[in-house]
Structure 1
Amino acid sequence: MRILGISAFYHDSAAALVEDGRIISAAQEERFTRKKHDDDFPHHAISYCLTEAGISAADIDHVVFYEKPFIKFERLIETYLMFAPRGFTSFLKAMPLWLKEKLFLKRLMVEKLGEIAEDVDWRSKLLFAEHHQSHAASAYYPSPFDEALVLTMDGVGEWATTSLGVGRGDSLTIEREIRFPHSLGLLYSAFTYYTGFKVNSGEYKVMGLAPYGRPTFTQTILDNIIDIREDGSFKLDLSYFDFCTGLTMTNSRFDRLFGGPPRGPEELLTQHHMDLAASIQEVTEIAVMCMATALAKETGIKNLCLAGGVALNCVANGKLQRSGQFDRIWVQPAAGDAGGALGAALAGYHDHFGLARPAREGLDAMVGSYLGPSFSPEQIETELTAAGAVFTALSDSEVIARTTDALTEGKAVGWMQGRMEFGPRALGNRSILGDPRSPTMQKLLNLKVKYRESFRPFAPSVLREDLEDWFELDCDSPYMLMVADVVEKRRRQMTPEEEALFGIDKLNVARSEIPAVTHVDFSARIQTVHQETNPQYHALLSAFKAATGCPVLVNTSFNVRGEPIVCTPSDAFRCFMGTDIEVLVCGNAFLSKDDQDPALKQDYKDRFELD
């Protein structure tokens, strides 16, 4: 049975194909349209999924949408009635779109699918899963566990903002939920908005900013804004927020509590903003830990699966892992709404039709999350030639050797190989790589390659077999969703003057043998690299280790600020020519910036809307 899962019309549209319970392909629409967080119907992602499987639209047995629009509309109406007449303006703004499209989503879906293949009876094939059911299915069914608690946390689906499920064998049941407007995801997004970043995009910036601050507002938040109970449940004081009735996340009462209006997007970041980031991060960790502690005690289940946007908070995930509440934790790499497409397909296959999980091989059923398009050597050479690129075609061993040389010379390397990753993280197939030992690499990549804020940290990729020699982590982290500290022996002894620094002044202090991936609190967002799932990237790390003694590379996504991660060789070449990346390795094609026609250089810095 072939089931196509779709998420669309809110943010991060995507499509995923499951065949007889196995994940064949999955991709976000933004990678094809080059529009960050594209929320349109995923025509391109669906077309890719069909092509990857070698099938036509007529071969699809069922299509599952990742949530139920009627229930969501019910929430919109009930929320308005609860607060009326407040919120009339935002209600009026929302209604036309709902009445035109979202309320009649089945009809719209049939129309959109008909544009792909008009001779297919899509209406009879179309199913709908609930939002948190999709998240939970994306977490449990691909996981390596036969029994697990499944915790999903995000802004809001239809009504649920947090749900608890239990997966056993081939089945998954949702046992309880916390409902809108009480939402950990919306609370974090409120602080994202207040500190001047874009909601549904900038939450990870708040997480990255937090170590520069002190959690001086934690108690203020706990005393006034959120009531976290011992059983893990929580409630928000809605008088501080505007997301139920207005067009912003917070209101004037929130402003008074935290000492002023929200920061403008390009205003200077101050210690005040850093302290707010540190505080909401700590509150989030407290809430997640309370839930996990209560659930572990209540059920005795030793495995935990996570999904939903809050599950992308890898700092909280790392602390949960270290707490020892669970033996093993597995996080869906596409934990946000894009992953809902995959979860919808899996929910259709297992929950709706009651079909068994296939035998799992390797770490899990996600195939390393390498589920997107790949390009043959001929396709790569054709695209690069058409773009005017100058390149050398190398053997596999030469690719590893030349790339290792470039990295040891301190160059930034664009690395495009194999199938594109599904989810927000580049995992060694659409990555910009660098030498983590360089004290200037973080600044170079942030300011001259990524064109983004200087405070933002970079992640290390590390050979799994060398993990515990470099980081305080004793479990797999293949999807860059666990944060842990650099081990003590790799840290640099700080001077008293350096220890006294706080805020952004911490940024330029080298803190370990691998300063480019060591955050100001000695932490790192770790990707463990496994030979089974990515033998080529594993080989590159092994060669770098042989040359330098260091089994770690800087790994950041191959894009600039505001741009989706590159998909095609053409995307890679444009980004290469629009930044200070010095080397591009596209399949077996090796490109040096010095060899390229200067006329092809692009003004890339202001090409994309800031995220």
Structure 2
Amino acid sequence: MQYILGISCFYHDSAACLLADGVIVAAAQQERFSRLKHDPAFPADAIRYCLAEAGISVSDLSAVVFYDKPLLKFERLLETYLANVPRGFRSFLAAMPIWLKEKLYLKMVLRRELRTLAKLDRKAKLPRLLFSQHHQAHAASAFYPSPFQQAAVICLDGVGEWATSTIWHGKDNTLTPLFELQFPHSLGLLYSAFTYYCGFKVNSGEYKLMGLAPYGEPRFVDTIYRELIDVKADGSFALNMAYFGYPVGSRMTSRKFEQLFGAPPLQPDATPGQLYLDLASSVQQVTEEIVLKIARHAHKLTGESKLCLAGGVALNCVANGRLLREGPFTDIWVQPAAGDAGGALGAAMLVWHQYYQQPRTSDEHHDQMQGGYLGPAYSEAEICQLLDSQQIPYQQLTDDMLYHSTAGLLAAGQVVGWFQGRMEFGPRALGNRSILGDARSSAMQSILNLKIKQRESFRPFAPAVLAERASDFFDLNCASPYMLLVAKLNRELWISQPDEATGLARLAQQRSSLPAITHIDYSARVQTVSKQGNPEFYHLLQTFNELTATPLLINTSFNVRGEPPVCSPEDALQGFLATDMDYLVLGNCLLSKTEQQPAQLAAARLRSFIAD
């Protein structure tokens, strides 16, 4: 048995993935264990989990592979600073000590961390240490686990070493590079610049910008094309760097960018006015159009009918939905951990298929991601022991009682935390670490946003729907198991609204018979749930449908603002006690908020406040 450990870390969303003879055994992000959102640190806890899942130690590994080539990245850093002298001198002084101390000598750092993890002395032999290129890892994460034997592959992100946008041809166990755009010309960084300008945090707030976009009008599209970016017919582009500060500065945008749009960057947590709504709408449209052009070029280069996507831009599910509707490909598969966390998985698979030259088999009906459920699971005994040790009141129910009780609570308008099986890998809750609600409720969106998730009121929620019933509600003719495609609701569900309201005031208007999952443009980010993919969640949706004639629920990640999704029963219990969630289901244990002790609730809320 050959075990390969993939690692991504030291930028953001560090993660680990373990393969056994090419099969994914486990994968998880470090943030889920450390409870630090987007934790960039060496993923020691994630590695421990992966090794424990396989019942092995570091010495049993055949190879460890890192998702980046630090020397290439260092070359890009130096060349960028030299090209911008004397600008960026302060940034250079801040960055160089870190690079010279740690990142440039990454082999030594990784070996030291692995020895510490395994409690090995300096003479003990470590597994072979390998490195992939950043976009190569993204491409591998997109193609190798996909259900396609051959496909075009597109990777779009901020930047790896030099590459920002790449096209590959995947065939059997090979990945051939065909097209590359390099830093500083980056679609991901263009989108991040607008993310920053509209008051959100780079590398985590991009999905907020995507959610904000439908509230505005794309009146700056021509300005963006005229001043900020020159796009060619094949999707290649060049940014006008006079408007951006990210190559050597601490700001994403320059003063000239502010002069162009007539305002300073929005302060974090400030309510966006019409200008920022329109900018969000405009850059979203530009991004979609560029993605479509790159996809058409990839189709022309490869002649393939199937497409695989990875990189942070591949998490833009609005662009993915448009690509599915208007693009040249008949089938699209998006890596569910499309960002840097997925680089750990891609690097490991790259070593298996290219370094070890192992053949690849694919099933056109199923990918190799196991539904994305690749994280830790907890036994009923572990859950009961936790609850009993903290004197938490709960009911332990049979399977049938659990599904009927939970569906009944949801139908009555209660908010339920749902904790089952293995944790998801990637940014989306897929029914195992989820907060659930009734999509028919006109109040549920504001209840979840303000009282539970403690986040911006404009943020839309996603529906999870029985796979065989998805087309009854959405203009979607394919599976979407990873919640990475946006589709319109079917028109018969729409409730038309007058045009008097503008901006965020449009949030108050009910737009369909499923108001809690309908965005203001009548769209939704859909998760299709199959019996094979997640039998427990499927059973719950089925039971809810029997009670309400509605085979879907709101499904949002089990976390509150500023925290990563929960990993353990302890995390879920803390989140339940610290918020206004009504019920919590941990395995077969049902907890009611009204039965909890006031002192425990107060202590949990205080811990949550201190952590925030």
Q: TM-score, normalised by structure 1?
A: 0.98
Cα offset for 1:606? 3.5
| Letter of the 1:37 counterpart | H
With 325-334 and 597-606 compared, the bigger mean Cα shift is at 597-606
CA change 1:362–1:568 in 2 (3 A) is: farther
- 1:423 matched to which residue of 2? 426
Cα offset for 1:398? 1.1
- 1:580 matched to which residue of 2? 580
| Aligned 1:347-358 pairs, distance under 5 A | 347-358=350-361
Question: 1:222 aligned to 2:222?
Answer: no
- 2:595 matched to which residue of 1? 595
- Alpha-carbon displacement from aligned partner over 1:352-402 (angstroms, at most 9, x marks no partner): 221112454852100000000000000111122223321111111111011
In structure 1, the residue corresponding to 2:328 is in which secondary structure?
A: coil
- 1:99 matched to which residue of 2? 100
CA contact (8 A) 2:147 2:362 kept: no
| Aligned 1:138-157 pairs, distance under 5 A | 138-157=141-160
In structure 2, the residue corresponding to 1:603 is in which secondary structure?
A: helix
- 1:76 matched to which residue of 2? 77
| Aligned 1:48-59 pairs, distance under 5 A | 48-59=49-60
- Alpha-carbon displacement from aligned partner over 1:42-74 (angstroms, at most 9, x marks no partner): 010000001111212221110000000000000
Equivalent of 1:236 in 234, 239, 244: 239
| Aligned 1:124-139 pairs, distance under 5 A | 125-139=128-142
| Aligned 1:406-417 pairs, distance under 5 A | 406-417=409-420
CA change 1:359–1:183 in 2 (3 A) is: closer
CA change 1:278–1:607 in 2 (3 A) is: farther
Q: What is the alpha-carbon distance in structure 1 between the residues aligned to residue 50 and residue 264 of structure 2?
A: 45
Question: 1:61 aligned to 2:67?
Answer: no
Q: What is the alpha-carbon distance in structure 1 between the residues aligned to residue 131 and residue 105 of structure 2?
A: 13
| Letter of the 2:554 counterpart | V
Cα offset for 1:115? 0.8
| Aligned 1:154-233 pairs, distance under 5 A | 154-233=157-236
Moved beyond 6 Å, runs of 4+: none
In structure 2, the residue corresponding to 1:289 is in which secondary structure?
A: helix
- 1:294 matched to which residue of 2? 297
CA change 1:398–1:231 in 2 (3 A) is: same
Superposed CA RMSD in Å reads 1.2
| Letter of the 2:149 counterpart | D
- 2:398 matched to which residue of 1? 395
Question: 1:4 aligned to 2:5?
Answer: yes
- 2:28 matched to which residue of 1? 27
Q: What is the alpha-carbon distance in structure 2 between the residues aligned to residue 543 and residue 241 of structure 1?
A: 52
- 2:483 matched to which residue of 1? 480
Q: What is the alpha-carbon distance in structure 2 between the residues aligned to residue 53 and residue 607 of structure 1?
A: 36
- 1:562 matched to which residue of 2? 562
- 1:457 matched to which residue of 2? 460
CA contact (8 A) 1:434 1:441 kept: yes
CA change 1:357–1:159 in 2 (3 A) is: same
CA contact (8 A) 1:569 1:586 kept: yes
Q: What is the alpha-carbon distance in structure 2 between the residues aligned to residue 607 and residue 505 of structure 1?
A: 33
Cα offset for 1:324? 4.3
Cα offset for 1:121? 5.0
Equivalent of 2:492 in 473, 489, 512: 489
CA contact (8 A) 1:438 1:516 kept: yes
Equivalent of 1:443 in 431, 446, 450: 446
CA contact (8 A) 1:362 1:532 kept: no
| Letter of the 2:24 counterpart | I
With 354-363 and 97-106 compared, the bigger mean Cα shift is at 354-363
- 2:521 matched to which residue of 1? 521
| Letter of the 2:83 counterpart | M
CA contact (8 A) 1:160 1:180 kept: yes
With 433-442 and 383-392 compared, the bigger mean Cα shift is at 383-392
Q: What is the alpha-carbon distance in structure 2 between the residues aligned to residue 607 and residue 457 of structure 1?
A: 27
Cα offset for 1:175? 1.9
With 116-125 and 10-19 compared, the bigger mean Cα shift is at 116-125
| Aligned 1:209-358 pairs, distance under 5 A | 209-358=212-361
Q: What is the alpha-carbon distance in structure 1 between the residues aligned to residue 151 and residue 142 of structure 2?
A: 10
CA contact (8 A) 1:387 1:570 kept: no
Q: What is the alpha-carbon distance in structure 1 between the residues aligned to residue 335 and residue 159 of structure 2?
A: 18
Q: What is the alpha-carbon distance in structure 2 between the residues aligned to residue 266 and residue 395 of structure 1?
A: 44
Q: What is the alpha-carbon distance in structure 2 between the residues aligned to residue 395 and residue 378 of structure 1?
A: 14
Structure 1 runs not aligned, ≥5 long: none
Q: What is the alpha-carbon distance in structure 1 between the residues aligned to residue 125 and residue 313 of structure 2?
A: 33
In structure 2, the residue corresponding to 1:433 is in which secondary structure?
A: strand
Q: What is the alpha-carbon distance in structure 2 between the residues aligned to residue 216 and residue 252 of structure 1?
A: 21
Q: What is the alpha-carbon distance in structure 2 between the residues aligned to residue 359 and residue 269 of structure 1?
A: 46
- 1:433 matched to which residue of 2? 436
Q: What is the alpha-carbon distance in structure 2 between the residues aligned to residue 363 and residue 580 of structure 1?
A: 38
Cα offset for 1:608? 4.4
- Alpha-carbon displacement from aligned partner over 1:448-471 (angstroms, at most 9, x marks no partner): 000000000000001100011100
In structure 2, the residue corresponding to 1:304 is in which secondary structure?
A: strand
Question: 1:540 aligned to 2:540?
Answer: yes
Q: What is the alpha-carbon distance in structure 2 between the residues aligned to residue 362 and residue 530 of structure 1?
A: 12
Cα offset for 1:269? 1.4
- Alpha-carbon displacement from aligned partner over 1:260-297 (angstroms, at most 9, x marks no partner): 11111022211111111101101100110111122223
CA contact (8 A) 2:149 2:361 kept: no
Q: Percent identity?
A: 55
With 377-386 and 19-28 compared, the bigger mean Cα shift is at 377-386
Q: What is the alpha-carbon distance in structure 1 between the residues aligned to residue 133 and residue 496 of structure 2?
A: 51
With 267-276 and 26-35 compared, the bigger mean Cα shift is at 267-276
CA contact (8 A) 1:137 1:346 kept: yes
- 1:530 matched to which residue of 2? 530
In structure 1, the residue corresponding to 2:154 is in which secondary structure?
A: strand
Cα offset for 1:87? 1.2
- 1:45 matched to which residue of 2? 46
Q: What is the alpha-carbon distance in structure 1 between the residues aligned to residue 276 and residue 516 of structure 2?
A: 24
- 1:109 matched to which residue of 2? 110
- 1:508 matched to which residue of 2? 508
Q: What is the alpha-carbon distance in structure 1 between the residues aligned to residue 541 and residue 581 of structure 2?
A: 19
